[in-house]
Amino acid sequence: MAQLTDARSLGAAPDLSEHQRASLSGRIVQALRGKPGLTTGLLLLPGTLWMLLTVGTALVSIVVFSFWTSGFTGLRPEYTLANYQSLLRPGSSFWGITVWTLQVVAMLLIGVILLAYPVSYTLWRVIKSPYWKSALLLLFIVPFWTSYLTRTITWLPMFGREGVVNQVLMGLRITDEPVEVLLYSEFSMMVALWFLFIVFMVGPIYFSMQRIDEDIMSAAAVYGASPWKTFFLVVVPLTLPGLMAGSLFVVVLGLAEFFTERAIGGAQSPMLAGLIQRQIDVFQFAGASAIAVVLILITLALVGLMLRFFDIRRI
């Protein structure tokens, strides 16, 4: 008899004693028995509530604020479409800034991909010693743990008029005068962005390269593919999941980028996120919210497009 009970309890919830049956938890277990859907729902509930409370509240507030009116003392709950009308009217600077934002994100993505592939490939196949592999990979990952602001600000003493790079260039007599384009230019902003974001691409690409079977690489060589052909026809297709994961990071975070443009780009060519900040600087909270809503929609559209093009579940 005892054995029979054991065998049955392997497949089902154990039989409860009278004491357990009477307790609250015992009654919950009884009520959920044989209802896996309800159990799953209950397990998801705390996380869902937390997300709704934090992200959800913030999102809803921004959407609501975008229909309010900005006043000298702050937001007034007077509903209006004026924020969107002035933002989206033909000839508004919003359009140019949106195009510029998309351009920057595109250049950022392309640059980061072009930089990340050689770096990942070198880490994967050129460097043989596992010691050096981990050391170099760590060099890429440590900045990831450093504050974003710190990483940006360290560019200033490097690339300023009196910065390290100019000192070296002038010391070596490569130039007579400090090179100005190194700081406070669109070029310097782009360079800084590439180096800020490369970590998001090197990681995923390197890890998906590591998953390529050594025999697959040998097979490519044996069947006539030179190292270049192997790279483009075998390695790149097989690292698309990593490329996609990295691209999602870069696009989403790139669209939200505002600080680099200010600190290193010289605050001359804001992107959408920078525009939000400038609105807030002059207390235009409603206008800022409207831009934020549009930026969120653009982000969602781009992410949706990327996911349509590539199934994230394959990663």
Residues near other proteins (CB under 8 A) are: 213, 215-216, 218-226, 229, 234, 237-238, 240
CB of 15 to other proteins, least distance (A): 43
Tokens of 163: 């910065």
The C-alpha atoms of residue 315 and residue 307 are separated, in whole angstroms, by 11
- C-beta closer to other proteins: residue 162 or 214: 214
Distant-in-sequence, close-in-space partners of 59: CB < 8 Å, separation ≥ 6? 296
Q: Report residue 177 as tokens.
A: 């005068």
* Nearer to other proteins among residue 72 and residue 228 (C-beta): 228
What DSSP designation does 312 have?
Answer: G
70: phi then psi, degrees, rounded to nearest 5: -85, 135
Least separation in angstroms between CB 228 and other proteins = 10
Q: How far is the CB of 237 from other proteins (least distance, A)?
A: 4
Least Å distance, CB 204 to other proteins, is 17
Give min distance, CB of 299 to other proteins, in A.
Answer: 29
> 220 vs 264, which CB is nearer to other proteins?
220
Question: Nearer to other proteins by C-beta: 82 or 225?
Answer: 225
Residue whose CB is less far from other proteins, 233 or 301: 233
Is 8 or 229 the residue whose CB approaches other proteins more closely?
229
The least distance separating other proteins from the CB of residue 250, rounded to whole angstroms, comes to 23
In angstroms, the CA 229 to CA 275 distance is 44
Helices (H), the chain: 2-11, 18-22, 24-32, 36-51, 57-65, 82-88, 93-121, 130-145, 148-153, 155-159, 164-171, 186-210, 214-222, 227-230, 236-238, 240-255, 259-263, 272-281, 285-309
